[in-house]
A and B are shown apart, each in its own frame.
Chain A
Amino acid sequence: MRLSTYGDIQLSIAGNDTQSYIDASHVPLFSSEILTGRRLLSTNLLYKFFEPKDGYKIIVNGSIETTRRIVQPSFTGIVGLQLILSLFGWGFLAFIVANHLDNLLTKILAVSTILLFAFTPQIADWDSILMSESLTFSLFALEIGLTVKIVFMIFNNQNHNIKIYLLFGAIVHFIWTFLRDTNLFVSLLTFSMIALILFSAHYRKNKNIHSVLIFFGFIFTLGLITASNSTRSQVQLINLYQDDLLPNAIRFETLKELGMPDPNTPEYQTWFSQNAGKALIQFMIKHPGYPIIKVLSDFPFAFTEIKQTYFKAPELNPTREILMNIGNALHSENTTPFLASLVLLIGFIHLFYKNIPKSKAWAWIGLWLFLCASITLIPTILGDTWALNRHALFSTTLYRLFMWLFTIVLIDISLQQKIY
């Protein structure tokens, strides 16, 4: 269905950002710029690997106006890989989740829900767009699947041989982390959640957990160093200063107190490139109300308008319209998924304390998933003022996926219990 209902699998469309992915990939492979340039390592490698001899040629750009996708010969490799990873990533997640459920009905429900979630236009459309969203979704779906597998193996029997899954997981996580800077926070979160497990004497001597801890610590350190030395953070800071901080007289005065020169003077540019980030952190510490209010006020907005706006495909109707309607039901564009996820998470933590079978592993995975969504959403809201819906798409998609996934898991657990 996924292969036949979205038109030619080679169809693609660029956005305004696509050129920056191409340009960023032109830096030498073995140079520090490949990590600290305008774009991150994974997309740099991807665009470098698939670059044709005569270079990339963008023929259609959906940021200028919403138009049709076409077959752009220089991008068929990238768009093909995006599709394959999407099919594999979501398929793997559906298979693994179903594999860890007991009831036949919930297995069927899980597979159909996860595949419909991913293969409706709200997610599947991104596979044709030449930016980082498609890879972000697909690789993380793969990562969730691997996490479910690994966590269940560890919780069931510490002596299970999980090295192959750990290796595969490490590769996927490495590539996924270096797609977007905010993904780095997931490494920090995972490091912290695994470190907490070590407080339990039961797991303290598990060498696999030690290796995983070292891996996430390394990824976070590497990511932090390269991100802070990169040029890409400057663009987000410029947007934030121009749209949010400088127009407000009180914020402007506070920044001046922190050493900011007049924005109309030549010293401003020098100060900005060296001190804007530090000044922003100092500003937020001095005025904690600013980040709190900004997160609260932008939070509901981040959940809206999640559909891509780069292309239209009326030639795929009426199938596309039906898929869009199904997708609308699965991808609600409001904060309900956040609330529902929170309530479900509390329920799973409660089940964990009640020692209900399987709930320990699911509660850990649920907490990790919920925090992954939250820890990437907050810096997205605070870090940039442009295209919030698109930048927050990963986090809001996770909340929506959580809501469906854990409802089904809860149903499965309840159907297995004889506690009534």
Chain B
Amino acid sequence: MKLINKTIPSTLLTIFIFSIFIYARAVGYGDLRLSVATIDTETYITSARNPLFSWQGFSGRRLFTTNLLFKLSTKAECPAPVPSNPFHGQEREREILPCFQTIALTQNALSIFGWCLLAYLFSKRINNPFYKILSIITILGFGFTPQIAEWDSVLNVESITLSLGVISLALLIESAHRFPKILQGYSASLLDILIITLFLFVFLLWVFARDAHLYAIFTLLILIIPLFLFKPIRNMKWMVGITLLLIITFIFGSATSQASTRWHPSIEHSMNYYILPYPARVAFMMERGMPNPNDTSAYKQWFETKANKDYAVFLLSHPGFILTTYFELSSYLRSDFLQTFFPTPKLEYYTTLLKIGEALHPETNHTYILSILLFISISISAISTKNTTIISWAWLASCFLFTPPSHLP
């Protein structure tokens, strides 16, 4: 409770800022039960009918975490609501859907809790009172402007992905800053273990929200395994346990993903856009065992069993392709952050919120350059000062920087 133990005025100011933001977020976007369905919503409802802790629960059309969330609506055998389809000009207004109001409410509550937790735990690690306040305002402003907040009304995976991601990030920051103390020989307290366990729990929920999140385990393992070079870490059995748990989860996630049909649409798109129109790439894939695409039945059989593995081999052996495609499509990474499923209210304060959101969510690539610059700087600082706090921030910065690109392929 370092944040609020200094003086009464600063505590009151912090509480006041949190209260203002929470109140504004709770009332500024209309009734928190309002929601809108998309063309994917029906698949979440159907998938949630599988038993949660079963093979189908993990290898079905949708993943465990969204199945868990949509269980909230399946008890009443809810029919899928009419979807909003902006691509075909059929945008729908949000409404209170009796079957789905609990989901909308949960999404909103998780979002508010998640951003507040991140603001609190991040600011706790900042020394200067002014920057503590600035970090709280910036994080809450970031999370509570329409670019993020509107997704909480959409019955899809985005809201839960963002909220669980933010909660795991907050807990990871807290865990990483508790680590140096443990490294110095202090035994882990109950609170330390509780926070690390909580992080793992939320992180795994986040991993099983979307298949692409599985690669975040891979990134985390790459950042954890080198820590075993330090003797104190090698002696921590629970660290070995965490590493094993992550490896097992990664294997389990890969197996359930492979057994599912979830990857079919994305691999089909990749084949259609990146492979089949290019004879050299087709030749490479055929060398790996892909049948002639004109042989429909053989191609279909290969596609359903091996296409994702062979495509992964193609990506690994063509790093130049990954780079050029990344740059060609980089405009997608800096545009259209706003949801398009429901029309935004035509209110004056809402326009102001959008403008503030535009400043905090710039639709340009400069965020990536800035992130790299700051990462390099903090890494050099960590190496030159060997200060544990800086090392913790540099380690966290690696997670920040390397987790998102692992989702791109």
Contact = CB atoms under 8 A, between A and B. Distances in A.
B298 interface: no
Interface stretch (B44-52, B79-87, B176-184, B383-391): B383-391
B380 interface: yes
20 contacts: A325-B330, A329-B368, A332-B363, A333-B364, A335-B355, A335-B359, A336-B360, A336-B362, A336-B366, A338-B359, A339-B359, A343-B134, A346-B134, A350-B130, A407-B370, A407-B373, A411-B376, A411-B377, A420-B385, A420-B389
A160 interface: no
Contacts of B387: 420
Interface in B312-328: 327
B8 interface: no
A415 B381 contact: yes
Interface residues of B, number: 29
Nearest to A420: B387
A208 interface: no
A332 B366 contact: yes
B12 to A, nearest CB: 22
Nearest to B355: A300
Interface in B351-376: 355, 358-360, 362-366, 368-370, 373-374, 376
Interface in A321-359: 325, 328-330, 332-336, 338-339, 343, 346, 350
Interface of B: 128, 130, 134, 327, 330, 334, 355, 358-360, 362-366, 368-370, 373-374, 376-377, 380-381, 384-385, 387, 389-390
Contacts, number: 67
A418 interface: yes
Contacts of A329: 364-366, 368-369
Given A333-B364, A343-B134, A415-B381, A109 B373 contact: yes
Nearest to A304: B358
Nearest 6 Cβ contacts at the A-B interface:
A329-B365, A332-B364, A411-B377, A336-B362, A420-B387, A335-B359
Contact of A332 (B360, B362, B376, B389): B362
A408 interface: yes
Given A336-B360, A339-B359, A411-B377, A418 B385 contact: yes
Of B128, B330, B358, most A-chain CB atoms within 10 Å? B358
A414 interface: yes
Contacts of A225: none
A333 B360 CA distance: 13
A330 B370 CA distance: 10
Contacts of B130: 346, 350
A84 interface: no
